[in-house]
Amino acid sequence: MKIVCLPGDGVGPEVMDVARRALNALAPDLELEEHVFGASAIRSAGNPLPEETLTACRRADAVLKGPIGDPEFDAAPVRPEQGLLRLRGELDVYANLRPAVQGAVDLLIVRELVGGLYFGVSGVREDGTAFDTCEYTPAQVERVARRAFELARTRRQHVTSVDKANVLETSRLWRRVVNEVARDYDDVVLEHMLVDNAAMQLASSPERFDVLVTENMFGDILSDLAAAMTGGLGLAPSASLGDIGAGLFEPVHGSAPDIAGHGIVNPAAMLRSTALLLEHGFGRTTEARTLEEAVDAALAAAPTRDLGGDATTKAFGAAVLAGC
């Protein structure tokens, strides 16, 4: 069983090192293989997703990715983020899972990841008009909705489908298809909610939600809002799953080039993403729970600077490993 590790840029190699140590402690039988990706790959190969890296990811059982991005390429024609979009599409990891847990809040956002506005036709016309096209097929909506209902069955049996059906044709399609899928899950309660109301409810009463399912751009925005309500992006993990092949597991935060190399980055989001990998990638729920509990204990005993403490990345990692 093989995991391809993509350290990425900025603080990526630092948090990846902690994750590798945790995997070696909890699942020493798993093989770890490292490849370049992102800005570092542009520098070495002229491509944020070299073919060698893509081939390795296709052959892997799971992909663990660090954050990418570098100010050097912000205005460049080839950017690290282009490699990420291509990797998601090539692996067809259409269901992005973003858990948000803190106190009474325990929700899961299921974001459609390989369709919609981010993958539609875009461009700039001769008169300077810019356009981006949002498209969805019924099949794209059905599979991510079905994934959300299946996950809800393992939780509190409630799905909130988020759209903008009062304005957008793609949202009206979304609502129709979700209603059709819901017929196969009579044990799960379904509600529909417009995205603006969903944002307000997340900010005011996030504890009311169980599983939210929504399209790509709405999910991108709402999942960051949910993360802010439960500790911030520095603690937020994610898992992107398809029906076959490797899943993609990554922290939500950016590459933070301003603190890279200083040994102070908080690796909690990467470690929580590693726990999702163990659970959803390999079905190792016991090891996943052990890692999650070790991270929670380290957050309390050895908080890093972003959380008001003074623990270094190395010290935080040592505290986690002590609980593994």
Share of the chain above pLDDT 90, in %: 97
Catalytic residue, chosen from 118, 296, 306, 314, is: 118
Question: Domain 98-232: which topology?
Answer: Isopropylmalate Dehydrogenase (3.40.718)
CATH for the stretch 1-93+242-324:
3.40.718.10
Region 21-34 average pLDDT = 97
Tell whether the model's pLDDT for residue 81 goes beyond 90: yes
| Candidates 70, 94, 164, 210; catalytic one | 164
Alpha-carbon radius of gyration of the chain: 19
Question: What digits encode the pLDDT tens for the residues 86-112?
Answer: 999 999 999 999 999 999 999 999 999
Percentage of the chain exceeding pLDDT 70: 100
Confidence of residue 234 (pLDDT cuts 50, 70, 90): confident
Q: Is 220 a catalytic residue?
A: yes
Q: Is 61 annotated as catalytic?
A: no
Measuring CA to CA, how many Å separate 72 from each of 83, 103, 252, 254, 323? 16, 40, 21, 15, 39
Domain ranges in the chain with CATH number 3.40.718.10 = 1-93+242-324, 98-232
User: Is 224 an active-site residue?
Assistant: yes
With contact defined as beta carbons under 8 Å apart, do 209 and 201 qualify? yes
For residues 110 and 61, give the distance between their C-alpha atoms in angstroms, rounded to a whole number: 21
**Residues 102, 229: Cα–Cα separation, whole Å:** 8
Q: What CA–CA distances, in Å, run from 288 to 2, 5, 164, 197, 320?
A: 17, 18, 36, 34, 13
pLDDT at 233: 85
CA distances from 217 to 7, 132, 134, 212, 253 (A): 25, 12, 10, 14, 17
pTM for this model (two decimals): 0.93
Q: What angle do CA 92, 229, 9 make, to 5 degrees?
A: 50
Q: CB–CB of 61/1 below 8 Å?
A: yes
pLDDT tens string 217-231: 999 999 999 999 998
Catalytically annotated residue among 17, 61, 106, 224? 224
Quick: pLDDT tens for 167-200.
999 999 999 999 999 999 999 999 999 999 999 9
Show the tokens assigned to 130.
């810019």
